[in-house]
Homo-oligomer: A and B are copies of this chain.
Amino acid sequence: MRVAVMTAPGEVRVEDRPEPEIIEPTDAIVRLAATCICGSDLWPYRGVEAVDAPRPMGHEYAGIVEVVGSAVTAVRPGQFVVGSFFASDNTCEICRAGYQTSCVRREAAAPGGAQTERMRVPLAEGTLVATPGIPSDDLVPSLLAASDVLGTGWFGAVAAAAGPGKTVAVVGDGAVGLLGVLAARRLGAERVIAMSRHEPRQKLALDFGATDIVTERGVARIKDLTEGLGAHSVIEAVGTKESMMQAIRSTRPGGHVGYVGVAHDVHLPGEELFFSHVHLHGGPAPVRRLLPELIDLIWTRQIAPGTVFDLELPLDQAAEGYRAMDERRAVKVLLRP
């Protein structure tokens, strides 16, 4: 079985590894219909995160259940499923409060990687959500997007309290930020300001419902567009100190920052945060909470987040996919096993 493995920063190769097997009665084996490369995969690729040992890559997945362990009853072989990047039991108090990515039994959903042909998913009962039937091919990219990048953008919009009457600004024009635009509009935001200096991404943002594009960094233009007050809601989808401060400073007092960029070397100054009066919420998106709603919106063709994939490659060309995303030639790369 083929798996994309990162051996060092900038080095990805597709290797043969043994087929996954059921280890725990709560496991399932899923044959992937499609998988993809995440913006967060670029952190180790760029050497920002260490690569101490060869690492099977990927954590986004959608496909057909092939085998389930004896304790799994909610999904069965033959069903098409989508799951989150963290496995969760979906029954503990934290899960029931909607924070499945902090489940007390949380573990990686793709311990052997998801940029592969087949994968073992732990805690399958609480982690996987079946679609109403086998999807037509054109729905697969959108369902795959629900596994992380749509769910993460959506959580950012929810954490930022996007809703009717609100002006929402989005910091970051990667796939998560772009789908944050889509989420904010679907949640009823009146105005969505996408911050981007890249024309293809600006176009995608407009497709997803952005009402304004801001190309300048800093808060002056955002303030201009919001009567000097700042946006009600800001989605942060990068994960650097610069992007966090851009988000906090773009938000009006009493407004909400939803931050979903995985923080890297970020320290927030307490005094400025104190006087900013913003609400700050974010973290790893509890995609499992959102999946039933997102699958329904995709299945009924109310949203089409799959257009965020602007490059599709066979799994064996994963290395080229990483290069394309690293060089910002592609927003997000779909891999076909």
Contacts and interface: CB of A to CB of B under 8 A. Distances in A.
Interface of A: 93-94, 97-99, 101-102, 104, 227-229, 239, 241, 244, 252-254, 259, 262-271, 273-284
A98 B270 CA distance: 22
Given A94-B254, A102-B254, A270 B265 contact: yes
Nearest to A260: B274
A192 to B, nearest CB: 19
A-B complex: 9 closest residue pairs judged by Cβ atoms: A266-B270, A102-B253, A263-B270, A99-B254, A280-B280, A263-B274, A267-B267, A277-B283, A268-B268
Contacts of A262: 274
A80 to B, nearest CB: 29
A254 B98 contact: yes
A305 B278 CA distance: 28
A244 B266 contact: no
A288 to B, nearest CB: 13
A94 B252 contact: yes
Interface of A is mostly: mixed
Contacts of A282: 274
A241 B254 contact: no
A102 B94 CA distance: 34
Nearest to A159: B279
Contacts of A241: 270
Contact of A268 (B259, B270, B284): B270
Contact of A97 (B254, B273, B276): B254
A268 B267 CA distance: 5
A263 B267 contact: no
Contacts of A98: 254
Contact of A259 (B97, B104, B274): B274
A262 B268 CA distance: 15
A269 B267 contact: yes
Contact of A270 (B94, B102, B267, B279): B267
Contact of A229 (B93, B239, B254, B270): B93
A102 B276 CA distance: 8
A244 B270 contact: yes
B280 A279 contact: yes
Contacts of A279: 279-281
Nearest to A102: B253
A281 B280 contact: yes
A153 to B, nearest CB: 16
Given A266-B271, A279-B281, 17 more contacts: A93-B229, A94-B252, A98-B254, A99-B253, A99-B254, A102-B253, A102-B277, A104-B229, A259-B274, A263-B274, A264-B270, A266-B274, A267-B267, A267-B269, A268-B268, A273-B283, A279-B280
A25 B273 CA distance: 34
14 contacts: A94-B254, A97-B252, A98-B254, A101-B277, A241-B270, A259-B274, A265-B270, A266-B269, A266-B270, A267-B270, A276-B283, A277-B283, A277-B284, A280-B280
A235 to B, nearest CB: 14
Contacts of A275: 102, 283-284
